[in-house]
Amino acid sequence: MRIGLIAPPWAPVPPVGYGGTEVVVDNLARGLQELGHDVRLFTVGDSACPVPSSHLYETAPRPIGTTVEEAAHVLAAYEAMADVDVIHDHTVVGPLLAARPRRGIPPVLSTHHGAFTDENRRIFREIARRAAVIAISHDQASRAPEIPIAAVIHHGIDLATYLPGPGAGGYLLFLGRMSHEKGVATALRAAHRGGHRLVVATKMREASEIDYFKTVVEPLLTADDVLLVEPSIEVRLDLLQRAEALLNPIAWPEPFGLAMAEALASGTPVVGFGTGAAPEIIDHGVTGFLCRDEGELSDAIGRIPVLDRGACRAAAEQRFSLPRMVRDHVELYERVLTNPSSIHELHLEADLPVEVVA
């Protein structure tokens, strides 16, 4: 199968620093190629993903999120991929600019990597007229019931890269953007309440992120805490392997939460809030604790030693492997090619635990 993947233009694939979507695209591209498919990636020129690729921009445009640059990027991408069997677009603008399905035009699939909001629900209602919309969790899909979802496909982790570690580093880990939504201030308070130090590995580029750090987070840091801004993949892997647990007290309905799956693959349990897709990733009392508030979070940190790191790794192998993610996508590609009308079938099976207890 000839498969065209379109990545956003804001970071290389894989990303050098922070970039969840680009990590997923890199994993998917490599996994599809390993299965023998003809994969073509449209990205930026300094990407290192080992599949045939093309680009409009040599490096990522700045500032991030500008409409003209994204539109130019995706228009060039669709021109470059006119002869593939399917196009899998990971941008928001791309499917809107894609031609309506008709003979001679490759079918388009669109993965939504963000939360459904009032603004983008309008956008994805239109995208669903042109493309098969893929959700990355059941919780994400349930928040836009009017939008036909072709499939819910959880992200997969490269288990050859994320290896289990001993968790003997003597610290808790926070891994995410410097923002209220990601819960870094909550993580610091909860860790300190139990006498634990926190390693904060974060993205902090935008003005809002820097302001949040200076006004809210910096006053909470102690001499024992460690702040790392966009550490390399090698450093992140080591941090995950040696952390006693990942703290993930998110304050928004996160559509998936790649850091949680990466932690499990590293044998590291997750302690956080049971919002968004967290209950689809973490088995409460087995691979982590899902809490209702900051007080429960602090109490759960004290119970981390009862969790089995082997069970965390086993959960990642069973549910969040790269081959599983790739197979799910190939099955959808084949279904769309065989029966294009099937892209409007709704799949929201709620067969995963959703109870949130402390």
Q: How high is the pLDDT of residue 101?
A: 56
| Contact partners, residue 94, CB within 8 Å, separation at least 6 | 6, 74, 77, 78, 110
Domain ranges of the chain: 2-156+322-344, 172-317
| Contact partners, residue 54, CB within 8 Å, separation at least 6 | 40, 41, 42, 80
Q: How high is the pLDDT of residue 313?
A: 98
Cβ density class 97-111: b for 16+ within 10 Å, e for less: ebeebeeeebbbbbb
How large is the average pLDDT for residues 239-243? 98
Could you tell me which CATH number the domain at 172-317 has? 3.40.50.2000
Q: How high is the pLDDT of residue 348?
A: 39
Evaluate the omega torsion of the peptide bond into residue 14 and state whether it is cis, within 30 degrees of 0. Answer: yes
How large is the average pLDDT for residues 237-266? 97
Q: How high is the pLDDT of residue 16?
A: 84
Regarding pTM above 0.85, the answer is yes
Band of residue 192 on the pLDDT scale cut at 50, 70, 90 = very high
Q: What distance in Å separates the CA atoms of residue 204 and residue 213, rounded to the nearest whole number?
A: 8
pLDDT at residue 87 is higher than 60: yes
Could you tell me which CATH number the domain at 2-156+322-344 has? 3.40.50.2000
pLDDT at residue 343 is higher than 60: no
The answer to whether the 2-156+322-344 and 172-317 domains have the same CATH topology is yes
Per mean pLDDT, which range of 69-83, 97-111, 175-189 is the poorest?
97-111
Long-range own/partner contacts, residues 234-238 (CB < 8 A, 24 or more apart): 235/201, 236/175, 236/201, 237/161, 237/162, 237/163, 237/266, 238/165
pLDDT tens-digit profile of 102-154?
556 789 999 999 999 988 999 999 999 889 999 999 999 999 999 999 999 99
Average pLDDT score, the chain: 92
282, 262 Cβ separation under 8 angstroms: no
Q: How high is the pLDDT of residue 223?
A: 96
| Distance from the Cα of residue 254 to its chain's centroid | 9
Query: For residue 350, which phi and psi values (nearest 5 degrees)?
Result: -95, 70
How large is the average pLDDT for residues 248-257? 95
301, 295 Cβ separation under 8 angstroms: no
Long-range own/partner contacts, residues 205-209 (CB < 8 A, 24 or more apart): 205/18, 205/230, 206/64, 208/179, 209/177, 209/178, 209/179
Q: How high is the pLDDT of residue 329?
A: 98
pLDDT at residue 357 is higher than 50: no
The full DSSP string for 120-149 is HHHHHHHHTTTEEEEESSHHHHHT-TTS--
User: Residues 176, 274, 193, 261: is their CA dihedral positive or negative?
Assistant: negative
User: Residues 76, 79, 85, 89: is their CA dihedral positive or negative?
Assistant: positive
Highest-confidence range of 58-72, 257-271, 341-355, by mean pLDDT?
Answer: 257-271
225, 285 Cβ separation under 8 angstroms: no
Both tokens assigned to 308:
């089995």
Short-list 60, 50, 56, 51, CA closest to 12 = 60
Q: How high is the pLDDT of residue 102?
A: 54
| Contact partners, residue 222, CB within 8 Å, separation at least 6 | 192, 197
